[in-house]
Structure 1
Amino acid sequence: MNVLVEGPGDAPVLLLVHGFGGSLRSFDPVARLLSDRFRIVRADLRGHGRTGGHSGLDARSQARTLADSIGDLSGVTAVGHSFGADVVLELAAQTDAVSRTVLIGQAPDYRHATFPPGHGLLAAPGVSPVLRSLAGAPVTTWALRRTAWHRLRTDFAATSPAMARVVLTERRKLLAERPLDEQLRDLGLPTLVILGSRDRLYDSAATATRYAAAGARVHVLPGAGHSPFASHPARVAGLLAEWAAVRTE
């Protein structure tokens, strides 16, 4: 697993875990703001970025690989965006390294999801490989090289086609059986949830209500979408710094 570690060795540890189709570079804006005060640990999940691979892609397997990769860290504040939220909760269940968690832009399940029409086609045989090939094509690279879409294109091109089925099909069933709010309630760890008021994938109001009922502290950022750390990096960095600094009694 490709891991990037930045910041003082004796500082509190922030583990930043990206979502489906992302990479450790997804958190660049936030890492730049926090690496002077925190030990920032980031990793490309399996099937993503420089880690690659086409197996062991589900959240539980990802957490096992991640646990092996981060070594003997302790007192970790584990931050997960979207699918990464599943991974950090699994990591917290599998190891004592995690002392608190942060979930960003992720609902407990797909009950209130508003995915774009036809999104399920990504999981259809042959579709995801074609889209991945198009994302990596020279003409696409050239056309998007100076736009905000460049990082998204690069990350998607490196994502295993098998991830689409894991996230869009298998994950839907797993979360229906055991939603994330139920998981964090069972873990009993302090949890912060950061949502965007304009998230087009999940209803932020319904999501906030469910997580608050499970005992999480919830912040809904006005004007932010599904990835608030990209649009509001300073605000998210401030919330993470405050949350990671709180001592667990």
Structure 2
Amino acid sequence: MTIPDDGPRVNGGPEATEHSTLPLDDGDIYVCEDGPRDAPALLLIHGSASSTRSWDPLVPLLTRSHRVIRIDLLGHGRSAKPAGPSYATPEQARRVGMALDRLGVEHAVVVGHSSGGAVATALAEQRSDLVTALALVNTGPNLDAFIPSGSAAIELSQWPPSDEQLRRLAGTAFSRAGYEVPQELLDEVRHMTPHTLTTTMQATRDYMEQRPLPDRLATLGKPLLVIFGADDRRWRSSSAADYHAVPGAKVELLPGLGHSPMLEDPPRTAAALLAFSAIH
């Protein structure tokens, strides 16, 4: 089902935002598309406890030259949140590949934020034909790079969490003092279930524990860009250097930004992505 957006056209371009719900074998997947449909495809995959909305400020900066596709992973955003299916990272990647097939996408540069970078990596492992290049935004290379923050934990027995609890949880995603987390992003966490929240986060840990991301990427032969906010409070930014183990990888640190540079400084993040995708 495709629902054209009644809002303004992106950058005055010929295509309006389209919202689709794609029925897959184990749950409906929500997709939105912006930009010219005949332009090169750029897929954006959100991180844990997030959704397509985390890319909202970035999308208008990308659509002059790209068909920008965003997907809510199963268990997140406006996608289904069933209790039964596997939320393992390879399964999430499989669903993303199926969604792109339904959309008629044959090749795409794939961008993943945080744990979305693990899904992007798994997609490249499964669908070398589909993924032309990868860009990881503040995706830790291995579990040793993770910075624990127990004080921000949410008590699942008191679900749904309050705005105050959600702001504490989201606080480590930003470095800029006084940054106001958009209300819609807080609501996206609240609309998850305790099962989907805990299971999807554990799935990322399991995937990275089995094999670090640089080891996985080094065997794929795909062009790689790693963008890292230098002041990340969830993953040690110094760990971005581990991605140099991937032949030809480009690693770019963004001073003054934290875990979510696409929200904190969309123009700087877009500039790095556009320069990379223009080559690949």
Q: Which residue of 1 aligns with 2:116?
A: 84
Equivalent residue letter for 1:242: A
Kindly indicate whether the alpha-carbon contact (under 8 Å) linking 1:46 and 1:56 is maintained by their aligned counterparts in 2: no
Structure 1 window deviating more from structure 2 (16-25 vs 89-98): it is 89-98
Which of the residues 264, 268, 272 maps onto 1:231? 264
**2: CA distance between counterparts of 1:23 and 1:154?**
10
Q: Percent identity of the aligned residues?
A: 33
Which of the residues 96, 99, 113 maps onto 1:69? 99
SS of corresponding position for 1:49: coil
Which of the residues 150, 161, 186 maps onto 1:153? 186
In the TM superposition, residue 169 of structure 1 has moved relative to its aligned partner by 3.7
> Which sections of structure 1, spanning at least 5 residues, go unmatched?
137-146
Equivalent residue letter for 2:272: L
**2: CA distance between counterparts of 1:64 and 1:176?**
20
Structure 1 residues 13 and 190 mapped into 2: Cα distance closer, same or farther (>3 Å)? same
Q: Which residue of 2 aligns with 1:240?
A: 273
In the TM superposition, residue 159 of structure 1 has moved relative to its aligned partner by 2.2
Q: Which residue of 2 aligns with 1:39?
A: 67
Kindly indicate whether the alpha-carbon contact (under 8 Å) linking 1:113 and 1:202 is maintained by their aligned counterparts in 2: yes
SS of corresponding position for 1:102: strand
In the TM superposition, residue 23 of structure 1 has moved relative to its aligned partner by 0.6
In the TM superposition, residue 135 of structure 1 has moved relative to its aligned partner by 5.0
Q: Which residue of 2 aligns with 1:140?
A: none
| 1:1-249 correspondence to structure 2 within 5 Å | 1-54=29-82, 55-71=85-101, 72-95=104-127, 96-118=129-151, 122=154, 127-128=155-156, 130-134=158-162, 148-205=181-238, 207-215=239-247, 216-247=249-280
In the TM superposition, residue 108 of structure 1 has moved relative to its aligned partner by 1.1
Kindly indicate whether the alpha-carbon contact (under 8 Å) linking 1:112 and 1:202 is maintained by their aligned counterparts in 2: yes
Deviations 1:24-61 (A, max 9, x none): 01101110111122100001111101103133322111
RMSD: 2.0
Equivalent residue letter for 1:60: P
**1: CA distance between counterparts of 2:137 and 2:124?**
16
Q: Name the TM-score, length of structure 1 as normaliser.
A: 0.86
Equivalent residue letter for 1:111: D
**2: CA distance between counterparts of 1:200 and 1:224?**
10
In the TM superposition, residue 245 of structure 1 has moved relative to its aligned partner by 1.0
Q: Name the TM-score, length of structure 2 as normaliser.
A: 0.77
In the TM superposition, residue 172 of structure 1 has moved relative to its aligned partner by 2.5
Structure 1 residues 73 and 222 mapped into 2: Cα distance closer, same or farther (>3 Å)? same
> Which sections of structure 2, spanning at least 5 residues, go unmatched?
1-28, 165-179
Structure 1 window deviating more from structure 2 (47-56 vs 231-240): it is 47-56
Kindly indicate whether the alpha-carbon contact (under 8 Å) linking 1:48 and 1:160 is maintained by their aligned counterparts in 2: no
**2: CA distance between counterparts of 1:41 and 1:153?**
22
Structure 1 residues 90 and 61 mapped into 2: Cα distance closer, same or farther (>3 Å)? same
Q: Which residue of 1 aligns with 2:168?
A: none
- Which consecutive segments of 4 or more residues in structure 1 shift more than 4 A? none
**1: CA distance between counterparts of 2:133 and 2:157?**
37
Equivalent residue letter for 2:260: S
Greater share of residues in helix: 1
